[in-house]
Amino acid sequence: MSDQNREPTPPLDQVSSAISGIGYQLKKGLDRMSFEADRRMRVNRVRVEVGKIQRQANEVMSAISERVMELEAQGAEMEPTIKILVGEVRSLRKQLAAKAAEIENIVAEQWAEPPLAMAAPAASAPKSLPPGQGQLIEGTKREVTQPEKNAEQPALCPNCNGPLRPMSVFCPNCGYKL
């Protein structure tokens, strides 16, 4: 090789300076990451402490409200605004009990395998249904409608108007029982 094709090598001072510059940038980046990690850990530690204090405050508020509920039940004289709040709490507790019962009913539901559909004789099957009229399927609340020609429109949920899959028992969007 000739000396003309070789690139000139930078002086040792320039290489050393470039390496120390890279080292400085790496150190600066690591220091910044360390600072950010430490800051996040401190923020999370304070958030945990805030959560504990909030739970303690909620427990105290709950104890106060339970005591007020007891006093109201005993017929103690109370300020009208407190009586209104007590009524709201009672109403909310009734709603919670109703929702808990609803959850229990949903959990207790069992899946029932649908019976095998047998083909109906051709004579008893309707040839065509007028648009907008349907045929009630036995044992269900659903109505099967004959699709209009050239108009493939998906069935819609009566509760949320979401699209239904063919032969759905529940709406996939809102869970409404069809």
How do residues 130-164 score in pLDDT, each as one tens digit? 555 555 555 555 454 544 444 567 788 888 888 88
Amino acid found at 61: M
Contact partners, residue 171, CB within 8 Å, separation at least 6:
157, 159, 160, 162, 164, 178
**In whole angstroms, what is the distance from residue 63 CA to residue 65 CA?**
6
**pTM assigned to the model:** 0.40
Q: For residue range 60-79, list pLDDT tens digits in order.
A: 999 999 999 999 999 999 89
My answer on whether 19 and 83 are in the same domain is yes
Domain tally, the chain: 2
121 domain-assigned:
no
Q: Rounded distance, CA 152 to CA 155, Å?
A: 9
Query: 143 near 136, Cβ under 8 Å?
Result: yes
**Does 164 share its domain with 92?**
no
Residue 140 and residue 97 share a domain = no
What domain range is 45 assigned to?
12-108
Domain assignment present for 115: no
